[in-house]
Amino acid sequence: MPQLRVLAGPDPNHLSSITHLVNTNLPCKISSDLFDGQIIANIKGFNKDTEYFDRDDRKGVTWSIQVQGRFLQPHTADDILFGNTFERPLHLPWGSGAALKFMSYLDPNLTHDLTSQTKPWALSPLVATMPHFAHSHKSRPPKFPSSSSLTDDNSQLSLAFHEEDEDAESPLSSASSSTSSLSSGSSSHSGDSGHSSSSSSSRKSHSSNGNGNGAPPPVNLHTAAQRRNYFSVSKNRKSVVFGPEDIITTDFCYGFLEFAPSLTLRLPGGISFDLLRYWDGQPVRFMCCERKDSNASRLDSEPWGRSFWCVAIEMVD
pLDDT tens figures, 208-239: 456 667 789 999 999 999 999 999 999 999 99
> How many other C-beta atoms lie within 10 A of the C-beta of residue 155?
17
Q: What is the pLDDT of residue 46?
A: 87
Neighbours of 56 (CB within 10 A): 6
Helix (H, G, I), strand (E, B) or coil at 56: helix
CA distance 239 to 180: 23
Strand, helix or coil for residue 85? strand
**Pairing state between β 28-31 and 284-290:** unpaired
* CB-based burial label for 52 (10 Å; 0-12, 13-18, 19+): buried
3-state percent helix, strand, coil for the chain, nearest multiple of 5: 20, 30, 50
Q: Which of 37, 115, 129, 33 is nearest to 78 (CA)?
A: 129
Q: Any residues with CB less than 8 A from the CB of 39 and at least 6 apart, and which?
A: 8, 18, 27, 28, 30, 65, 66, 67, 309, 311
β-bridge mates for residue 313, sequence order: 6, 284
If the chain, 317 residues long, is cut into consecutive pieces of 10 residues, what is the mean pLDDT of each piece? Answer: 86 96 96 98 89 95 97 98 90 71 81 86 95 95 94 96 58 43 34 37 46 82 96 96 98 87 69 69 92 70 91 87
